[in-house]
Amino acid sequence: MSKKQTATEELYDVTIGGGGYVGLSLALALKQSEPSMKVALVDLRPRSAIENDPRSSAIAAGAVRMLDQLGIWYQLEDEAQPITEMIVTDSKLHDSVRPVFLTFAGDVDEGEPFAHMVQNNHMVGALHDAATDAGVHIFAPDSVKDFAVEPAHVNITLGSGKTIQSRLIVAADGVRSKLRDLAGIHCNRWSYNQSGIVTTVAHERPHNGRAEEHFLPSGPFAILPLKRNRSSIVWTEKTNEANRLVNGDEFTFEIELERRFGHHLGEIKLDGPRQAFPLNLVLARSFVTNRFALAGDAAHGIHPIAGQGLNFGFKDVAALSEVLVDAHRLGLDIGAAHILERYQSWRRFDTWQMGMTTDVLNRLFSNNIDPVRAVRDLGLGLVERMPFLKKHFIGEAAGMAGPSPKLLLGNPL
């Protein structure tokens, strides 16, 4: 039954469920570009909880350009560590020497590294404050309990009991998205039976901006440079082993960490909490439905082997904000099916392609079969000898391969 708007219900143009980097950057991009748009964001976490995230993320050059265009990069730049070089090795855990099969170095443009390491709490906190200052209405702590789609709007019931209306609702509430389930969008998914262990270490010697990815039989072990002789670790293990390491004593954890890290940066010690996150492939079968769109991990959860999960979320934001702002300026209904289909056609194939690529890479490199190792090492060696291929992969790592939305090029909407 259709429900008319009452005096107690506010009508928004866009309501976003989820206050992580995707939801906040989308809200900020929309409100900055079109101040007349009414944008709401609903988040379970209060502002104070953002400071509790100890993780760091690799931000590609395209995402840096977007954050600069949104006016917050200057707040992050001093603490952001440029990644100036990356090496890739492939070895067994007990091998005394880890030969380097592939190296990446160079800037996207002169003086512009292809990626930076940024602390999550700094980035999300800056986005939150900028979105608030821009006029985004943030309901927090709160949640979207339910919603019902009408011909011209969506009726939204919040966990607090408040009801609002919106022309469009965007789910940016993570890989276990409740909103995606409420919308009836199904996913293709499977578990890798792996978990990603995330922590931070301090070391004696400087890393000089070099990132390392070691392909070990249990999965990739990444060392990502941070400021002040520190590195972020993303360590893939079988889930049972990961849980044992994270929940066990610190001494055992540090011994196992050192076996994988090596001694090239001198003595290492833990410099933050250790956490483990299950790794799955989750790909939504559709990114849009009636007055509803998915963005970020709610649309796609991919293996971190290529380090593109966060940057694909920023690509979603750049594409969706461009589509919605263009439609709003033309006076069109931003929740209409043909408007949302433009966003889906822009992002869905790219996402599925990356999902399949990371899946194949993980299966290829997370094993200890000698003939397979020989083939993959041959492939890495061939790429190392082909500058045009390496340039293509740097473009992919920078987040600017293929048709790029305006914000990823550093241009205003």
Q: Mean pLDDT, to the nearest integer, of 369-383? A: 64
User: 174-231 pLDDT, tens per residue?
Assistant: 999 999 999 999 999 989 999 999 999 999 999 999 999 998 888 899 999 999 999 9
Q: CB–CB of 159/142 below 8 Å? A: yes
Q: What amino acid occupies position 336?
A: A
- The pLDDT of residue 20: 96
Q: Which residues contact 91 (CB under 8 A, 6 or more apart)?
A: 97, 98, 99, 214, 215, 216
Q: Is the pLDDT of residue 307 over 80?
A: no
Q: How far apart are CA 7 and CA 218, in angstroms?
A: 58
Q: CB–CB of 191/280 below 8 Å? A: yes
Query: Which residues share a beta bridge with 102?
Result: 88
- The pLDDT of residue 3: 44
* Cα torsion 254, 195, 390, 59: sign: negative
Q: What is the DSSP string of 202-253?
A: EESS--TTEEEEEEETTEEEEEEEETTTEEEEEEEEEHHHHHHHHHS-HHHH
Q: How far apart are CA 198 and CA 130, in angstroms?
A: 28
- Does this model's pTM top 0.75? My answer is yes
Percentage of the residues of the chain whose pLDDT score is greater than 70? 88
Q: How many residues does the chain have?
A: 413
